[in-house]
Structures are given as structure tokens and as C-alpha cells.
Amino acid sequence: MSHYDPVFVEIQDLRTELNREELKISDDIKERVKNIEELMMARERFCTDHTSDSSVEVQAIAKETLDHPWKELFQEGKIKFNMKTSMMSGNVTGCFLQFLVSSSKAKTVLEIGTFTGCSALRMAEVLPPDGKVTTCDFDPYVVEFARHWVDTSPHGNKIEILLGYAKETLPDLAKKGSKFDFIFIDADKKRYVDYFKICLDSLLAPGGTMAIDNAMYYGTAYAEKPRGLYGDHTRQFNEAVKQRQDIFHVLLPVRDGIMLVRRKTDMHG
């Protein structure tokens, strides 16, 4: 979604500004600015149009997520925070995750942040029959929602959903000696550095890959005047990745930024 990109937001603001009568901006300039905005949106639509479709079950979860009264549930105190449907991975990110899981031949996946189960189900779909996705979330309402909807899929039986705070779930998994071939971190930016460290040092199986979503968090990672929350946390996370000498990493500007990490020792053929 373009709104993750601060350039897009600036362009939108500028377009509104240029329409102020008193500025007497020429139609040509206004048109060119409008063109920039449209090109940015067209680029995104083009990527979506040239990406595989999601399964009918994932489409059903996405529709239910979009139609669900999250705001009212929050006002009634039934969910922990004001969940936004934009938290759900879009089709490009979802297909990208499936690509990574499938091409790395992962059998065990860990996800931090289930929400409605969309990304967990996508990853389960590309695992072998004995593969398993372990996903965790601290909100009982979304855990129940996700359980119900992933079970409408023949791949639902590959998914275990753990209810609890990631800061407790991850050490518990580490204590049990659990290891995962693929780890997707997608919750709670404030603790990204902690999750990154425990995942890399204790939970990532030899040869494993990690993907960390929202690594640029609306541009807060690099913008001089960052918008919104978590700017410091996002920058600290990126710095923590950069400081590690034992990993190979790449930050991709997919949607809100996806950081991919592997141990250097696993990069050699």
C-alpha cells in the first residue's frame, strides 16, 4: 500500500496544497504532481496484478477480516488494541512469504503475530504435509478468529496457534529446544530488537531464514522527520541487524520494508 511510503503521503499533501486558489498554481504543475501520485499507485497495482492469486481460503479470511467490526470490538473492550485491517499482509507480501518458505524447503515455521491467520495459512499452504507453522498472538479474540478460519482450509491442521505475549512465548519455545527453518516477525515493534536476538540466537534452525516485516515502518527508519510511533524502535532494530557480524541481510522495500536475515555460515554453497 502506497500509504506506507512517506513520499506518497508528501505528494498527496502537496497536491491538496497546490489546489489552494490563492497560490495561483498553473494547471500544468498540478497535473504533473497528480501524475506522480497516479504513477505510484499504478506501480503498486501493476505488482499486485502480476502476482499470483491467493487461495480461496486466504481470500475468505481476508474478506472476513476486512468486513469485521474491529473498531466496535475495541470500543466494547473485546480486543486488546484498535486492530486495523491493514495489519493483515497484502497479496504481494503474502506471496513473497510463500516464495521464501517454499524455496527454502522449510518444514517448520514460526510466526510472531497471527492476527486473523492470513499469513500463517499462506505459509502452511506451501509446507509439506508433515510441516508445521507455530504462530503466536496475545489477543484471545484474534486467536479464536484465526483458529476458526484457518480450519476451513485443508492446511489448517499444520497450524498451531499459541496464545500469549511473545516476550514469554519465545523464551518458552527456546527452553523446550524448538527450532524453526523459517521465522516471520510481525508484531510489537517496541520489542523487535529482543525478538530478533532470541530468534536468531536460540530459535532459528541451522540453514534457516528470518523475515522481519515493517522494517521501515512508514519511513520512520530513515525519514528525518518521522511520522507516527516507533521511529526509535525501528531505527534500533535496523542498527541491531547491521551490527551483527555473523549474518547476511537484505532490506527490501516491499510494502513497509521486509528485512531478510540468514547466518553467514549458511550462505555458502
Ligand X SMILES: C[S@@+](CC[C@H](N)C(=O)[O-])C[C@H]1O[C@@H](n2cnc3c(N)ncnc32)[C@H](O)[C@@H]1O
Which residues sit at the interface with ligand X, rule CB under 6 A? 87-89, 113-115, 118-119, 136-139, 142, 165-166, 186-188
What is the closest distance, in whole angstroms, from the C-beta atom of residue 34 to ligand X in the complex? 32
Q: How far is the CB of 12 from ligand X (least distance, A)?
A: 24
List the beta bridge partners of residue 133: 109, 159
Q: Which is nearer to ligand X, 113 or 208 (CB)?
A: 113
Residue 196 contacts residue 212 (beta carbons within 8 Å) = yes
Looking at beta carbons only, is 118 or 200 nearer to ligand X? Answer: 118
Q: Pick between residue 189 and residue 262 the one whose CB is nearest to ligand X.
A: 189
Nearer to ligand X, 30 or 190 (CB): 190
Residues contacting 233, CB < 8 A, separation 6+: 189, 190, 192, 193
Is the CB of 33 or the CB of 65 nearer to ligand X?
Answer: 65
Cell for 33?
Answer: 504532481
Return d(Cα 195, Cα 269) in angstroms, integer: 28
3-state helix, strand, coil in the chain (%, to 5): 55, 15, 30
For residue 202, the 8-state DSSP code is: I
In whole angstroms, the minimum distance from the beta carbon of 243 to ligand X comes to 24
Q: How far apart are CA 29 and CA 222, in angstroms?
A: 28
CB of 193 to ligand X, least distance (A): 13
Residue 114: DSSP 8-state: -
Minimal distance, residue 96 CB to ligand X, in Å: 11
Q: How far is C-alpha 152 from the geometric centre of its chain's CA atoms?
A: 23
Smallest distance from ligand X to CB 85, Å: 10
Residue (114 or 238) nearer to ligand X, CB: 114
What is residue 52's DSSP assignment? P
The answer to whether the beta carbons of residues 117 and 146 sit under 8 Å apart is yes
Burial of 152 (0-12, 13-18, 19+ CB in 10 A): middle
The identity of residue 144, as a single letter, is: E
